[in-house]
């Protein structure tokens, strides 16, 4: 069954179409959600919730547009909401700027040293964990889903400059984590 056939079947009320869509897309949806929620169970809940919403609203889905971006945008939105409900209060001193995670990602993409690569991955993981869910979502959209800033701005219905602000605005929170002085941010 093709994705289009699955959607057509689902629109006809045949939930077998949904099973096909789940099979095709759950892996990337789970990884996207997990990066934002930092918790497997919450990620699973977020993906399930998203698919349920897809089912409820499938008759309004524009089939001329690809399904995966539509799904993953919804996953991001749901994962943010769920992660924020799960989030424990985090003091400012524990938070990190998305821009610093960006730098770590940039270093990880260029190093040829496997030891350094593994170390950087761990730092990225630690860094992402210290971001707020909304900030994690910005990182995920930009660097995992490969959305442009323009697409991200459209997705969040904000001005393009706001995305830059989201990536950079919390930079002053990163001092204790990175051991940097405040004026460097």
Partner 1 sequence: MKTHTSNQVLDELARESLGQDINLSSDLMIKVRKEKNKTMKKRTLFTSLATVLLVVAAMASVPSVVQAIQRLLGYIPGVGFVEQSTPLRILQDPVETNINETTIIVSQAVTDSEHLRLFYQVENIPTLDTATAQQSDVCQTLPELKLTDGTMLQAGTISGNFWGSGYSRQLEFSALPPEDYSVILVLPCLEGSFSKEGIKDIEIAMNFVKAPPDMKVYPIVELPTPTAKVVPQATLSIADHISLVIDKYVQTDGQIILMGSLSSDSKEVGLSLVESQDIHLVDAAGQNVVISEDVTLPGLETARSPQLLPLTYKTAGPFAAGKAKLTIDQMWIGRQANESFSFDPGTDPKPGQTWILNKTLVVGGHTVTIKDVTKNLYDEGLSFNYEKADDVTNVSLMDLDHPLLGGGGGDSNTGFTYRDGFPKGMITITLTSYDEFIPGPWEATIDLPAFTDGSAPTPLPEACLTQSSWTAALNSSSMDLPEGVGGQLILMDILPPDNYYHIMSATLTGSKPIDMGIGDGGSLSPDGKTLIYSTNDGLTFRDIASGETHFVEGTSRRDLGALWSPDGSLIAFSKGPVTGLIGAAGPHELMIMNSDGSDQRKLLADNGSNTAQAWMPDGKNLIFTTRRAEGVLVQSINIETGKVTLLTTVNYQNAGIAVSPDGKHIAYEAMLPGERYSVYISDLDGNNPRLIANADPIVVTVPQWSPDGKWLIMSVQDTSLSEFMPTLSLVNVESCKIIPLTSLQGYVTSWR
Q: Which of residues 5 and 176 has its CB atom nearest to partner 1 in the complex?
A: 5
Whole-number minimum distance, CB 134 to partner 1, in Å?
9
Running DSSP on this structure, what letter comes out for residue 183?
G
Report the distance separating Cα 96 and Cα 124, nearest Å. Answer: 11
CA distances from 145 to 9, 14, 57, 73, 99 (A): 28, 30, 23, 9, 17
Binding partner 1 by CB under 8 A: which of 87, 150, 161, 176?
A: 87
H-helix or E-strand spanning residue 143: none
Q: Which of residues 59 and 184 has its CB atom nearest to partner 1 in the complex?
A: 59
Q: Does 92 bind partner 1 (CB under 8 A)?
A: no
Tokens of 70: 């539509």
Binding partner 1 by CB under 8 A: which of 15, 115, 182, 183?
A: 15
Q: Does 44 bind partner 1 (CB under 8 A)?
A: yes
Q: How far apart are the first and last CA of the chain?
A: 52
Closest CA to 37 of 146, 140, 148: 140
Q: Which stretch binds partner 1 (CB under 8 A): 92-100, 101-109, 167-175, 176-184?
A: 101-109
Whole-number minimum distance, CB 183 to partner 1, in Å?
28
Closest CA to 101 of 143, 133, 134: 143
Q: Which of residues 112-141 bind partner 1 (CB under 8 A)?
A: 112, 117, 121, 124-125, 128, 133, 139-140
Binding partner 1 by CB under 8 A: which of 75, 79, 105, 152?
A: 105
């Amino acid at each position: 069954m093709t994705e289009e056939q699955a959607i057509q079947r689902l629109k006809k009320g045949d939930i077998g179409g949904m099973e096909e869509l789940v099979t095709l897309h759950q892996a990337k949806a789970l990884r996207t959600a997990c990066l934002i929620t930092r918790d497997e169970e919450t990620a699973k809940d977020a993906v399930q919730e998203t698919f349920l919403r897809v089912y409820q609203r499938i008759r309004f889905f524009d089939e001329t547009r690809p399904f995966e971006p539509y799904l993953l945008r919804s996953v991001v939105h749901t994962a943010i909401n769920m992660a924020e409900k799960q989030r424990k209060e985090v003091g400012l001193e524990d938070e990190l700027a998305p821009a610093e995670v960006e730098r770590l990602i940039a270093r990880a993409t260029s190093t040829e040293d496997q030891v350094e690569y593994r170390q950087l991955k761990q730092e990225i993981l630690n860094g992402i964990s210290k971001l707020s869910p909304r900030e994690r979502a910005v990182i995920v959209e930009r660097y995992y889903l490969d959305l442009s800033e323009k697409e991200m701005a459209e997705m969040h219905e904000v001005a393009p400059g706001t995305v830059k602000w989201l990536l950079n605005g919390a930079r002053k929170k990163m001092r204790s984590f990175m051991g940097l002085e405040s004026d460097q941010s």
